[in-house]
Amino acid sequence: MGKAIYWFRNDLRLADNSAWKLAIESGSQVYPVYIHSPDDDGEWAVGGASRWWLHHALQDLEDQLSRKGLRLIIRVGDPERVLQALINELGITEAFWNKRYIPAQFEADDRLHTDLVKQGIDVTVCNSSLLLEPWDICSGSGQPYRVYTPFLRAFRSNEVQDPVNSDGDPVVPCSWPGSLEVSGLGLLPEIDWAKGLRSFWKPTRAGGLERLRDFARRELDAYDRMRDIPSEDGTSRLSPYLHWGQLGPREVVAALSPMPDSNGKETYYREIVWREFAYHILFNNPDTDMKPLQPSFNQFTWREDAGDLEAWQKGLTGYPIVDAGMRQLWETGWMHNRVRMIVASFLVKHLLLPWQEGARWFWDTLVDADLASNSLGWQWAGGCGADAAPYFRVFNPILQGKKFDPDGEYVRKYVPELKDLPNRYIHTPWEMPASMQESLQVAIGDQYPAPVIEHKQGRDRALEAFQQMRERTKQ
């Protein structure tokens, strides 16, 4: 009887898992493996909030495996070496995994695949994390897309696979090699800052399925109308489950397709396709995690200002909607999409700080930190990416607050020092008369900061920097 390694990465589930299905159907004894390799991912090693999520997702995966009589073999180190050692130790004849599409990971996997085949190992590689492969879609001229709408049109002309049934029972190995415990990976913070994350999330597959069911039943229909209101539970909050592969996108689409047709359902489908677009862009433009897709932005002069960066990170810019977003992120490891756009625009335009700084902070603080979606989102905000808002369109954080959080419900929740302000001042607390500041005990510049930069001044400075870049690139 053969012996197979199943290598788990961002596909931490057994259901709807194409490579897992083939592993259990191979008839070989299946050894599930997870390799933690923080040194390998360099700048993009799993960030703090994501490590918290990963700890729980791995424990949950262990539970799912143990119900099948299996264990998860956990090792640390360079994946190639660790796998090679396991192959030698166990006499492995087959290897199974699902593809990763982050360019550096994709290439490393490809090299490993070739090496293993040379050694006579049978390697099976599948897709379980995207609806379509990033290379499945290209324009009439054979080029990858850079604009979302034609990408969506082309996407729709392809058939998306149904979820696969991978619920069968594997052949259980007769003996097991040594393994670390999940807790041995040291993924949980030493100082416990994760209380907010614990109360906001159920980081298990069952938690993801429950959320998917609730969203389909309660929020899908009105998604198009409610998705921009940060105080409402109007979005699915499935992003971390999708990032870690506790749910697959095929499962999400299949769960929603029997629901009655509505604008909400159509809009949601388009958002899921934005995720595919993000992978399409990064896969075809491998350095856009750090470099602007539009080369003219290499000539952009960003500021350096540690104080302003810290004010933004800590939610102390003096703009309530920005500060609420940054504090929601710190407290829950997640931020509403509308507010992600507002805070990103504020960093890049009002503060004129590089989008890469914002991307790094999000990377460390989001439980759904995903290199493709994060890079796309930040380049979009910076005006330098695919389908980006033109740089000269500067979000006004006051008007955005008034429009999407008219009664300040979201601000009051995450910036409690402003909770008693009348609606009139909730997005412009610096306009409060001194007597009101005194009676509410919210002295601006003391209990709550004055704006780090005045809106018009920030906007004008951003537009001038953009103009200078255009002149430089014309020369």
Catalytic residues: 271, 274, 302, 337, 355, 378
Does residue 321 touch ligand FAD according to CB under 6 A?
no
Does residue 231 touch ligand FAD according to CB under 6 A?
no
Binding part of the chain for ligand FAD, among 13-21, 72-80, 271-279, 389-397 by CB under 6 A, reads: 271-279
Does residue 32 touch ligand FAD according to CB under 6 A?
no
Q: Looking at beta carbons only, is 377 or 408 nearer to ligand FAD? A: 377
Binding part of the chain for ligand FAD, among 83-91, 272-280, 302-310, 416-424 by CB under 6 A, reads: 272-280
Which of 46, 95, 130, 242 touches ligand FAD by CB under 6 A?
242
Q: Looking at beta carbons only, is 130 or 311 nearer to ligand FAD? A: 130
Q: CB of 388 within 8 A of CB of 382?
A: yes
Which of 275, 280, 349, 350 touches ligand FAD by CB under 6 A?
275
Distance CA 377, CA 278 (A): 9
Q: Tell me the two tokens of residue 127.
A: 């897709």
Q: Looking at beta carbons only, is 238 or 469 nearer to ligand FAD? A: 238
Which of 55, 211, 243, 250 touches ligand FAD by CB under 6 A?
243
Q: Looking at beta carbons only, is 21 or 250 nearer to ligand FAD? A: 250
Minimum CB separation from ligand FAD for residue 403, in Å?
17
Binding residues for ligand FAD restricted to 330-359, rule: CB under 6 A:
337, 340-341, 344
Does residue 311 touch ligand FAD according to CB under 6 A?
no
Distance CA 458, CA 397 (A): 11
Minimum CB separation from ligand FAD for residue 90, in Å?
36
Minimum CB separation from ligand FAD for residue 412, in Å?
21
Which of 106, 269, 274, 430 touches ligand FAD by CB under 6 A?
274
Does residue 130 touch ligand FAD according to CB under 6 A?
no
Binding residues for ligand FAD restricted to 139-178, rule: CB under 6 A:
none
Binding part of the chain for ligand FAD, among 60-68, 155-163, 273-281, 396-404 by CB under 6 A, reads: 273-281
Helix axis angle, 103-118 to 263-284, nearest 10°: 70
As a three-state string, the secondary structure of the chain is CCEEEEEECCCCCCCCCHHHHHHHHCCCEEEEEEEECHHHHHHHCCCHHHHHHHHHHHHHHHHHHHCCCCCCEEEECCHHHHHHHHHHHHCCCEEEEECCCCHHHHHHHHHHHHHHHHCCCEEEEECCCCCCCCCCCCCCCCCCCCCHHHHHHHHHCCCCCCCCCCCCCCECCCCCCCCCCHHHHCCCCCCCCCHHHHHHCCCCHHHHHHHHHHHHHHHCCCHHHHCCCCCCCCCCCCHHHHHHCCCCHHHHHHHHCCCCCCHHHHHHHHHHHHHHHHHHHHHHCCCCCCCCCCHHHHHCCCCCCHHHHHHHHHCCCCCHHHHHHHHHHHHHCCCCHHHHHHHHHHHHHHCCCCHHHHHHHHHHHCCCCCHHHHHHHHHHHHCCCCCCCCCCCCCCHHHHHHHHCCCCHHHHHHCHHHCCCCHHHHCCHHHCCHHHHHHHCCCECCCECCCCCCHHHHHHHHHHHHHHHHHHHHC
Does residue 239 touch ligand FAD according to CB under 6 A?
yes
Distance CA 87, CA 94 (A): 9
Minimum CB separation from ligand FAD for residue 384, in Å?
13
Binding residues for ligand FAD restricted to 362-391, rule: CB under 6 A:
362, 366, 368-370, 373-374, 376-378, 381
Q: Looking at beta carbons only, is 98 or 345 nearer to ligand FAD? A: 345
Tell me how many residues contact ligand FAD (CB under 6 A).
28
Distance CA 148, CA 350 (A): 26
Binding part of the chain for ligand FAD, among 167-175, 199-207, 267-275, 450-458 by CB under 6 A, reads: 267-275
Q: Looking at beta carbons only, is 216 or 453 nearer to ligand FAD? A: 216
Q: Tell me the two tokens of residue 338.
A: 């509308």
Distance CA 149, CA 12 (A): 31
Which of 123, 222, 272, 465 touches ligand FAD by CB under 6 A?
272
Minimum CB separation from ligand FAD for residue 429, in Å?
25
Q: Looking at beta carbons only, is 164 or 348 nearer to ligand FAD? A: 348
Q: CB of 307 within 8 A of CB of 407?
A: no
Q: Looking at beta carbons only, is 21 or 243 nearer to ligand FAD? A: 243
Q: Looking at beta carbons only, is 95 or 278 nearer to ligand FAD? A: 278
Does residue 10 touch ligand FAD according to CB under 6 A?
no
Binding stretches for ligand FAD (CB under 6 A): 227, 235-239, 242-243, 271-272, 274-275, 278, 337, 340-341, 344, 362, 366, 368-370, 373-374, 376-378, 381
